[in-house]
Amino acid sequence: MSTLEYLFQGFGTALIWYNLIFAFVGVLIGTAVGVLPGIGPMSGVALLIPVTASITGGLPPEQAATSAIILLAGVYYGAMYGGSTTSILLNTPGESSSVVTTLDGYQMAKKGRAGSALSIAAIGSFVAGIVTIVALIVLAKPLSNVALKFGPAEYFSLMLLGLGAVSGLAGKSVTKALIMTVCGLLLGTIGIDNVSGIARFTFDVPWLYQGIEFLTIAVGLFALGEVFKTILEKEEEDMEIARINNLLPSKEEFKESAGPIARGSILGFFVGILPGAGATLASFFSYILEKKISKNPSKFGTGAIAGVAAPESANNAASGGAMIPLLTLGIPGSGTTAILMGALMMYNVQPGPLLFEDHPQVAWGLIASMFIGNIMLLILNLPLVKVFAKIIQTPKKYLLPMIIAISIFGVYAVQVSTNDLLLLLACGILGYFFSKHDYPIAPLVLGLVLGPMIENNLRRALTISNGEYSVFVTRPISLAFLLITVLWLVVPFLMKKRGKEVVINIEG
């Protein structure tokens, strides 16, 4: 079948009434998650995995996986839309990728142009979403065909690249990111070894024989960790919201934002494809690009419409671009896509080159639903932006108990184990500790998801090569991935060291 035929089948799946509801609920919750400061797409997606497992329980396995991933992906790209609302109205980013939007968005709001800023952010996000979906349709099949030629050695090296990329770009300290990656890999070894049948790191506790459950770790670290942080740090709730007057931008503002939206969409897409780069980096790059090519760079930071259009387009394009390595190669490029990958694996759907062959309903249904979801988001965000602005004022005394209840009941409904609830609580405390001391959580989750796969491919590659480790460097593609991994980790370290030497020389 051709790509167009598969795509039409995907729309047939996405347009089923209950999948439309899942898509709508996903983007609605995603927008709310983006609007609420501090929660973010990773926490939102992790929190909803047990909920989707409960809701889709009565559907056949393939349909359940499709419906669940449609909802969870909707939360992911919906959060990118919603993050701009608090950035513009409160000068408080809803999530990290909206940090750049505050620079000009809040200045526009203070000048009475909040409506124009919110509308351009929504339109830019919509255009970026459509651009990435088209690119995903064009590139998905060819990339998965190329990936089918990969052997165990290539997959092992590619997964190391995914780990190295996220570890190298997560948080302020590469050392802390690598520590968290190793912790994730160690957690992934707990349980009965599939090859030898030997219990590893179980300490004769029967509950640990099946291994550490990804769902419990993700919900605990992200959702409960955020709850503990809010309770213990007692953040101020008195925030002055800028007034929203006219929602429609002027013709001049449309004209000024057209170029930044186009450039932000393309740049964000290619940055999103890179493992570990993510939406935050894309939004910074696009803002810097617009400032560099602007005829009047001094206006940036004072309320330039391009300073809102470019980063908002870029962060949405990056979230769509991140789906390409996840779906075609089985390599999550960010913490959120790692959680999405874990969710798919819960339904026995393995992302990667065989996804489009073995589970075309899931792959093409998701791609088609992203197109529908982006239209829903545009319809939601433009007329209902004042309603979403009210969500910001939700008292934490109502919000936090809801998050705790969903976390506990969700994890128990899937695992039916009090031990998992204790682990959930422990992960919540650890999540707060990691956040407080700037230990990035995304590499740990990625290590937990990819660890068993890395181990399996390592064993398969060594079995095929009769124990020769040289197989990883004699195969050109594997060697290329390993070299890129080393460069990804070493270059930032060398640049940082060189920067310190320059500072010392200047001071001396």
Parse the chain into domains and list their residue ranges. 3-497
Handedness of CA 239, 244, 248, 249 (dihedral sign): negative
At 508, the pLDDT band (50, 70, 90 cuts) reads low
Cα 343 to Cα 479: distance, rounded to the nearest angstrom: 31
181/334: higher pLDDT: 181
pLDDT of residue 71: 92
426 has a pLDDT exceeding 90: yes
Closest CA to 85 of 37, 123, 143: 37
337/166: higher pLDDT: 337
CB-based contact 353:155 (threshold 8 Å)? no
Instruction: Read off the pLDDT of residues 312-339 as tens digits, 9 standing for 90 and up.
Output: 898 888 888 888 888 887 877 677 888 8
pLDDT of residue 503: 47
pLDDT of residue 443: 80
178 has a pLDDT exceeding 90: no
At 272, the pLDDT band (50, 70, 90 cuts) reads confident
354 has a pLDDT exceeding 50: yes
387 has a pLDDT exceeding 70: no
Closest CA to 47 of 199, 224, 234, 276: 224
pLDDT of residue 435: 83
Q: Poorest-confidence range of 64-68, 323-327, 420-424, 471-475?
A: 323-327
- The average pLDDT across 360-364 equals 88
pLDDT of residue 168: 56
pLDDT of residue 20: 93
Q: Poorest-confidence range of 91-95, 374-378, 464-468?
A: 91-95
At 186, the pLDDT band (50, 70, 90 cuts) reads very high
Q: Poorest-confidence range of 102-106, 131-135, 161-165?
A: 161-165
- Alpha helices, DSSP H only, in 278-417? 278-293, 306-321, 323-324, 335-346, 355-358, 360-381, 385-391, 396-415
Q: Poorest-confidence range of 214-218, 360-364, 484-488?
A: 214-218
461/110: higher pLDDT: 461
The highest-confidence range among 137-141, 201-205, 267-271, by mean pLDDT, is 201-205
pTM over 0.75: no
pLDDT of residue 243: 57
CB-based contact 217:65 (threshold 8 Å)? no
Cα 367 to Cα 136: distance, rounded to the nearest angstrom: 8
Hey, what amino acid is at 197?
G
Inter-residue long-range contacts of 144-151, CB under 8 Å, 24+ positions, other chains counted = 144/327, 144/328, 144/352, 144/353, 144/354, 144/355, 144/356, 144/357, 145/353, 146/353, 147/328, 147/329, 147/352, 147/353, 148/353, 148/354, 150/353, 150/477, 151/461, 151/464, 151/475
CB-based contact 435:441 (threshold 8 Å)? yes
Provide the mean pLDDT of the chain: 80
User: Which residues fall within 8 angstroms of residue 359, CB to CB, at 6 or more apart?
Assistant: 62, 65, 349
Cα 180 to Cα 183: distance, rounded to the nearest angstrom: 5
pLDDT of residue 506: 47
Instruction: Read off the pLDDT of residues 43-88 as tens digits, 9 standing for 90 and up.
Output: 788 878 888 887 877 788 888 889 999 999 888 888 877 777 777 7
Side-chain-side CA neighbours of residue 447 (13 Å):
21
Instruction: Read off the pLDDT of residues 430-445 as tens digits, 9 standing for 90 and up.
Output: 989 998 888 888 788 7
φ/ψ of 169, rounded to 5, equals: -115, -5
